[in-house]
Structure 1
Amino acid sequence: MAEKLKKSVIYLYGLPSFGFQIFIYVELMFFSAFLTDAVKMPVALAGSVLMITSIFDLIWVPVAGIILQKSNLKWGKFRSWLLIGPPIAAMLYILQFLKIGSPVTNAITACIGFVVGHLVFDVYYSAHIAMNSALTSDVEERVKMSANRGVFNALGSLTFAYVGVKAIQAASIAFNDPARGYLTVVIMVALIMVLCYWTFFFLTKEYAFRGTTLKSQKTEGMPIREILKQLLQNPPLIGLLLIDLGRYVGKFVVLGLSFYYFKYVLNDLPGMAIFMTGLTVVILISATLATTVAKRFGPNKAYIGALCIFIAGLLITWLFPLSPTAFKIVMLVSFVGYGLPDSLVVAMYSSCVDYGEWRTGKNARGFIMALLTTPIKVGNFIKSVIITAVLASAGYIADMTPTPELIQGIKNGFCLFPAIIMIIGLIVFVILSRKMKDMDNDIASKKIKTELEII
């Protein structure tokens, strides 16, 4: 049995996630604004940039998983990417937010920076996630690291919400140029991100080859076809991907439709700022409770129970007319159902790696852990479809007088549709995750058999 991990490794496992959150939030919140308002790109051209980059963002998920699975660099299969990936991604991120030449030239540089950059950071992001199962086989250590990642994720989001947005505004005013303001903050967050990943890289030096094969040892590489088959032969993984997809759709739709909900349904647009801050705080609190809850009920049951809270909150909001205050209370409580699973999900993907190895005799850790980003990217795409459909069906025009059709459409998009997607994912997950018991029973029986042989 491997030695227990140092506490510094366990409790700072989430440090790269902190850097990644403040790094990527510039793009999540301001990339389209940078294109249209800072670069003065025509809307049609900016829309083309967003569409092209979104398509590649989806394509890169399996590609990054295959690269990670088949690579084996000298500082450890997964750990190496923490060293070489972040500085490359940082330079490409700067290119993405660099105003240069005509709008068409900017469209090209933004696409290159985004497309190549996202492939790079999909690989090193997944490498960090994969280290959860590579560093230790101890379930308790995995859950602690997963929960700490959730805490650092929330802290990163909260830090950017308070500091990053203001920094962009201040830099834009100081330079009297929004483009230079964005670029300045991008450089700052890129440096912080690199430092966070490199810190964890050095912390894990003595564990570089845990759960992997030494680069000097000859191994039979897994063919790409065999890597892809790992998904089809892993029912618990399919169930986890679907339930996680529902959870992310819920989060992204809530974030994407909040402006319309507060403006047209609640008539309380100023309350949106308090609501958004409250969501981040709730996610942070949920992350701190995740280890205790998982220890008491187990990661799977904790995830299922939390998601039921999320679904219940959305359905209550859809069924009953709520005041702005009551709405905030119900939704903030329900977001425990997002935050708690977010802190457990890495450990759950690690269990799917174990199941895949038990079922097939082959370890596809890199590929499976890279799939963690699939629900995020597909969920973001589904969010865009829901929001577009809701607004189009109600004939939405900016600042229009709220009609019953618009109000009901927003409520359906905000509450009902995500709840339905989550319910479907929950049912599939409950059914498919039962397969995990086959592995647990087999391991338990082998353990008993070994003990009897010793006696």
Structure 2
Amino acid sequence: MSEKVSQLGDRAVSAIQNNVGQALGLIYGLGMLTWTAFNQMNSNYWSYFLTEICGLEPTVMGTVKAVTGVGEWFFVIIAAIIIERVWLKHGQYRSWLLVAPPATFVCLLMTFVDPVFLDMGAKTAWMIFFQIVGGFFSSFFMIAATSIVPVISRTEADRTLLSQRKAQGNMLVKVLFAAISLPAILAINGLVYRVPAGENAQNAGPAGFTVLALVFGIIMIVMFVVMYKRIDGMDPTQKICEERAAAKKRGEKVPPLAAGEKVGLGEMLKYWLTNLPAVIGLFAEIIRFVAQMTIQSMAMYVFTYAFGDVAMAAVMLTACNVTGLVATFVSEPVARKVGIRATYLVGIGVSFAFSVVCLFVGASSMMAFIVCICGIYFGMNFMNGTMMGMQSNAIAYGEWRDGKTAKAFIMSTFQWCPKIANAVAGLLTGFGLAAIGFVSGMEASPELAQGMVNIICLIPAVCFGVAFAAFFFGYRLTPKKMEQIAVDLAAREAEKGADGK
């Protein structure tokens, strides 16, 4: 590659050198982890909150999660189109980091409030409305934050660094969340409702859940403001957006942006649907999230009803997230050595193996179950650590192939993953619980334990098996291929610079 690079000139050489330092990677990771902390309330406790605090039947809970998942998925598409077509004052991407988090916070906080003044039908509608609207606003800042990655990164090493810092930050906050969230809920409920922590204080009322969501939401807003300030000047559209906003403020007539500056809906769909690595990556990530959300939403049920020790749910979540954090650090040098594609495949394989083992031994003992779930998390965080790099490589491939791309729209499709997975996992777990005869408050039994383990292990096992085959055959962006793409894109940039002189 060095011989070809030397022929391109200084502009091209600069274009393919690493552009992301450790400090920027750290700030980016810290910003993203605060959303993870806030969203963990939904991932870990919302199913439980709906049935045990709000009193919804398991099938209704499953339906609520399915409907909200589909609704959020639809509005992610709308958010992506708005980001591509509507450029706000501080840049196409950067502006949303300031605007969207407060609205998200208000809406999602309402999903951890029990509206006791409503009947069950109205209460169900309340939860669906606020979850969908909150998800809509969260799509803006998450699409913007992820779209920044392919904009500021130039090499696979850049993408690996940002992807790993995001994953490491997310796993670190998950470790802390798992360690403190349930004890905090129990302690708050104990104080508010005067129930000893060991006597099902988690079921005493909504206060513990509401207060914890409030705290994490405020921290999220503050950190996204910090992140917004840190990437000042890095959004390539920021200058033109600020100039146009200033002209409008002075009362000047501002002409619409040139047609080439924005991507039409037809082009968005074309660039996405014809980009096989992006489509396969999306499919694999949906499957990973289905498996992850199945485990997260079932954990409280398994330890409350199958093993009869709800406190161990916090122990397992902490152990899983520590294991996942270790995996993100282990996967970083692996990804640098063998590339993003191979590292992602290793993660799928490890998760599949532990899912199968858990299916056979998980119900035999609590410790066997915890060890197996930790193994699944280890594999999933090999995938998580390379996820954003995998997505950004697919966008670079599309730009290399087509000469133009719709970064926000393609990145938004990866925001569908938790939305679609939330619907699928909620539907599977809700009706799965009904199928094994689960009723709120029932006594534990060997049959119930095995039934719950079947739900929490069989679904991920099938998911990971399908994902491995699809990713192996459909995602062919090797390090050698990405190196060639970087050189070719750098050559084009150098030619543009020369033509513009």
Check whether TM > 0.5. yes
Residue of structure 1 equivalent to 2:215? 188
Residue of structure 2 equivalent to 1:332? 374
Equivalent AA in structure 2 for residue 114 of structure 1: Q
The two structures have a TM-score, normalised by structure 2, of 0.78
Distance 2:219 2:25 in 1: 20
Question: Is the alpha carbon distance of 1:7 and 1:67 closer, same or farther for their aligned partners in structure 2, counting shifts above 3 Å?
Answer: same
The alpha-carbon deviation at position 22 of structure 1 amounts to 1.9
Equivalent AA in structure 2 for residue 203 of structure 1: R
Q: Which moved more, 1:103-112 or 1:311-320?
A: 103-112
Q: Which moved more, 1:234-243 or 1:354-363?
A: 354-363
Question: Is the alpha carbon distance of 1:326 and 1:37 closer, same or farther for their aligned partners in structure 2, counting shifts above 3 Å?
Answer: closer
2:333 to 268, 292, 295: 292
Q: Which moved more, 1:82-91 or 1:297-306?
A: 82-91
Q: Which has the higher contact order (CA 8 A, sep 6+)?
A: 2
Distance 2:288 2:324 in 1: 13
Residue of structure 2 equivalent to 1:244? 285
Q: Which moved more, 1:232-241 or 1:36-45?
A: 36-45
The alpha-carbon deviation at position 299 of structure 1 amounts to 0.8
Contact 2:302 2:453 in 1 (8 A): yes
Contact 1:22 1:157 in 2 (8 A): yes
2:443 to 394, 399, 413: 399
1:253 partnered with 2:294: yes
1:202 to 207, 229, 239: 229
Question: Is the alpha carbon distance of 1:144 and 1:450 closer, same or farther for their aligned partners in structure 2, counting shifts above 3 Å?
Answer: closer
Distance 1:446 1:181 in 2: 52
1:350 to 366, 378, 392: 392
Distance 1:40 1:265 in 2: 20
1:315 partnered with 2:332: no
The alpha-carbon deviation at position 341 of structure 1 amounts to 1.2
Residue of structure 1 equivalent to 2:318? 277
2:149 to 132, 142, 160: 132
Distance 1:360 1:234 in 2: 10
Distance 2:278 2:80 in 1: 14
1:219 partnered with 2:219: no
The alpha-carbon deviation at position 425 of structure 1 amounts to 1.9
Contact 1:49 1:111 in 2 (8 A): yes
Residue of structure 2 equivalent to 1:430? 472
Which aligned pairs between 1:10-49 and structure 2 lie closer than 5 A? 10-32=25-47, 34=49
Residue of structure 2 equivalent to 1:165? 182
Sequence identity percentage: 22
Aligned length: 448
Residue of structure 2 equivalent to 1:119? 136
Residue of structure 1 equivalent to 2:344? 303
Residue of structure 1 equivalent to 2:88? 73
Matched position secondary structure for 1:13 = helix
Contact 1:41 1:103 in 2 (8 A): no
**Which segments of 5 or more consecutive residues in structure 1 lack a partner in the other structure?**
none
Contact 1:77 1:213 in 2 (8 A): no
Distance 1:341 1:160 in 2: 21
Residue of structure 1 equivalent to 2:107? 92
Matched position secondary structure for 1:103 = coil
Matched position secondary structure for 1:205 = coil
The two structures have a TM-score, normalised by structure 1, of 0.85
Question: Is the alpha carbon distance of 1:435 and 1:373 closer, same or farther for their aligned partners in structure 2, counting shifts above 3 Å?
Answer: same
Note the alpha carbon deviations across 1:200-256, whole angstroms, 9 max, x for none. Answer: 11111132327x883359332322222122221010011111222222222223334
The alpha-carbon deviation at position 26 of structure 1 amounts to 2.5
Equivalent AA in structure 2 for residue 24 of structure 1: N
Distance 2:60 2:426 in 1: 18
Distance 1:96 1:416 in 2: 29
Residue of structure 1 equivalent to 2:462? 420
1:63 partnered with 2:105: no
Task: Compute the RMSD of aligned alpha carbons.
Answer: 3.6
Equivalent AA in structure 2 for residue 206 of structure 1: G
The alpha-carbon deviation at position 424 of structure 1 amounts to 1.6
**Which segments of 5 or more consecutive residues in structure 2 lack a partner in the other structure?**
1-13, 194-203, 245-255, 495-501
The alpha-carbon deviation at position 379 of structure 1 amounts to 2.2
Question: Is the alpha carbon distance of 1:205 and 1:434 closer, same or farther for their aligned partners in structure 2, counting shifts above 3 Å?
Answer: same
Question: Is the alpha carbon distance of 1:213 and 1:202 closer, same or farther for their aligned partners in structure 2, counting shifts above 3 Å?
Answer: closer
Matched position secondary structure for 2:446 = coil
Equivalent AA in structure 1 for residue 285 of structure 2: D
The alpha-carbon deviation at position 84 of structure 1 amounts to 1.1
Residue of structure 1 equivalent to 2:253? none
Q: Which moved more, 1:236-245 or 1:328-337?
A: 328-337
Contact 1:356 1:364 in 2 (8 A): no
Distance 2:89 2:381 in 1: 36
Question: Is the alpha carbon distance of 1:219 and 1:422 closer, same or farther for their aligned partners in structure 2, counting shifts above 3 Å?
Answer: farther
Contact 2:150 2:392 in 1 (8 A): yes
Contact 1:241 1:372 in 2 (8 A): yes
Contact 2:113 2:206 in 1 (8 A): yes
Question: Is the alpha carbon distance of 1:289 and 1:12 closer, same or farther for their aligned partners in structure 2, counting shifts above 3 Å?
Answer: farther
Distance 2:94 2:142 in 1: 11
Question: Is the alpha carbon distance of 1:194 and 1:169 closer, same or farther for their aligned partners in structure 2, counting shifts above 3 Å?
Answer: same
Note the alpha carbon deviations across 1:157-212, whole angstroms, 9 max, x for none. Answer: 223223333444444444449445544333322210011111111111132327x8
Note the alpha carbon deviations across 1:274-316, whole angstroms, 9 max, x for none. Answer: 3222101111111222321110110110010121111111223
Question: Is the alpha carbon distance of 1:313 and 1:38 closer, same or farther for their aligned partners in structure 2, counting shifts above 3 Å?
Answer: closer
Contact 1:245 1:378 in 2 (8 A): yes
Matched position secondary structure for 2:399 = helix
Equivalent AA in structure 2 for residue 144 of structure 1: L
1:103 to 118, 121, 127: 118
Contact 2:171 2:321 in 1 (8 A): yes
